[in-house]
Chain A
Amino acid sequence: MSSLDAISVNVEAETGNVRPLLHEIRHALKRLANGEDGTVIDLRRLPLAPGEEERLDALLGKGEVHAEVDALGPTGVQETLYPGVWLITHCNAEGTTVARFIEVTRVPELLMSQQEDIDAGIRRLEKELEN
């Protein structure tokens, strides 16, 4: 044990932002259930004390769906215990987290095939069939 480890530090900080965030998610989920638009919450914009983001993750939990998108670095897409609430974690090519969002939607847009990519895929397939 180093001398630094010998100093007992027990940080008891709490912003109190976790519960209001859960309420915000609840309101967004109700809007979605009523046929209104989805909501995206940028976790970088909120002050959270050390450990609070982990607490939020634990409270949201892990649901049935998990996907990993490999585009300009990995992106984790995790449905939470609350269907319609997704946790999106964007990493860069070095694996460092560059952004985290909570998306309240039926399916995150990032998982859907994009029109430009579909068009490019058709062109590739046609070229393949020409050979």
Chain B
Amino acid sequence: MHKDQTLGEYLRLQGVSRRGFLKYCSATASLMALPPSAAGLVADALAAARRPSVIWLSFQECTGCTESLTRSHAPTVESLIFDAISLDYHHTLQAASGHGAEDARLTAMEENAGKYVLVVDGSIPIGNPAFSTIAGISNLDMLKETAANAAAIVAVGTCAAFGGIPHANPNPTGAVSVSEIIKDKPIINVSGCPPIPVVITGVLAHYLTFGTIPELDALGRPAAFFGQNIHDRCYRRPFYERGQFAETFDDEGARKGWCLYKLGCKGPTTYNACATLKWNEGTSFPIQSGHGCIGCSEPDFWDKGGFYNALSVGNWGNRDALLGAAAAGAALGVGSAIAARARKKKAQAAEEV
């Protein structure tokens, strides 16, 4: 597909009928969490859409986000990448290497200045820039250079969105998120470890269709996917309401598929679309597989206490903090008892008078 062609023109030349295009748009509207009635609107917008340039930078990451995307099924990632967007730079997927790869990035930045979408996965180490470099360029410098002329930035994964696991205590590299460095560009946080693949493609499809960023929540995440918590959309929620909980992973409750709240499920405080979009081509999601949600799309999820502690237990941190809190609580208790005794004595004295 040439950059000057619209997507509609390209598909017609490929022999795709209007009927096929409408089908593609229905699936895309569903993917973007738009109401089904919006399919016609999507068709009109997509028919006139031109192929945007996308530069994908990978910093302190495990490649799980790219693995997630390349297993996306709707629309097929091949059609998304090769037909709908121009993926001009991506370490893992591109054939070029060395200077050729870096030249591709610089050329895409120059030819599409102010119009390209920058996708970032991974956090950025600012403790010592040498902790992570690409072609001798620190992650920090490459992010600043590439973001300068981007139209918008998509921070893919919890590492890019909130610092993620590299940011976890004691954060040895001084890892930070994209939004802690770039302050003058629209940033869409697509969190998750990894994010749901159709959420990544849904956000890209939204930009491709409307040329704008979707409505975001308070943490900069697309509200269509992160607007509700896992708990409210969980099919096990009725068991929670009835007080039916699995107490261990092999008890009767677990075998009957009861609520996993007492086994540490973080669904009530985690905002994501796993319960409806699901994983592995819509097959299942962690809670359906019998394991509680670990809250991976929330900031600092790694440092919020044990994955197997119920939310009601709270997060007391490490042993020293717990002992300190216990000592403080004991001191407060002793102080309260002394004060209560003093009040009692005073009241008795007043009665005797």
Contacts and interface: CB of A to CB of B under 8 A. Distances in A.
Interface string B274-291: 011100011010001000
A74 to B, nearest CB: 10
Chain A CB count within 10 A is highest, among B23, B75, B288, for B23
Interface string A6-47: 011111111110000000000000000000000011101111
A93 B24 CA distance: 11
A82 interface: no
A69 B26 CA distance: 14
Contacts of A71: 16-17, 19-20, 23
Contacts of B74: 92, 96, 98-99
B36 A96 contact: no
B106 interface: no
B276 to A, nearest CB: 6
A2 interface: no
B276 A45 contact: yes
Nearest to A94: B76
Interface residues of B, number: 39
A14 B237 CA distance: 9
Contacts of B151: none
A117 B257 contact: no
Interface string B10-41: 00100011111011101100110101110000
B36 A41 contact: yes
B256 interface: yes
Contact of A110 (B19, B35, B76, B236): B19
A99 B281 CA distance: 11
A80 interface: no
Nearest to A38: B37
A8 B256 CA distance: 9
B73 A92 contact: yes
A47 B234 CA distance: 7
B239 interface: yes
18 contacts: A13-B235, A14-B238, A15-B235, A42-B35, A44-B282, A45-B30, A47-B275, A47-B276, A49-B235, A69-B19, A72-B23, A96-B281, A110-B19, A113-B19, A116-B12, A117-B17, A117-B18, A117-B19
Contacts of A3: none
B73 A114 contact: no
B238 A8 contact: no
A interface residue count range (under 10 / 10 to 19 / 20 to 34 / 35 or more): 35 or more
A14 B258 CA distance: 10
Nearest to B230: A47
Nearest to A119: B18
Interface of A: 7-16, 40-42, 44-50, 52, 69, 71-72, 75, 90, 92-94, 96-99, 101, 109-110, 113-117, 120
Nearest to B233: A47
B255 interface: yes
Q: Which 9 residue pairs are nearest across A and B when measured between Cβ atoms? A: A71-B20, A40-B36, A11-B257, A98-B74, A114-B18, A49-B235, A116-B18, A99-B27, A13-B257
A8 B65 CA distance: 35
B234 A99 contact: no
B18 to A, nearest CB: 4
Given A47-B275, A94-B73, A96-B74, 19 more contacts: A7-B250, A12-B257, A13-B236, A15-B238, A40-B36, A41-B36, A42-B35, A44-B282, A45-B276, A47-B235, A47-B237, A72-B24, A75-B23, A90-B23, A92-B76, A96-B281, A98-B74, A99-B27, A113-B19
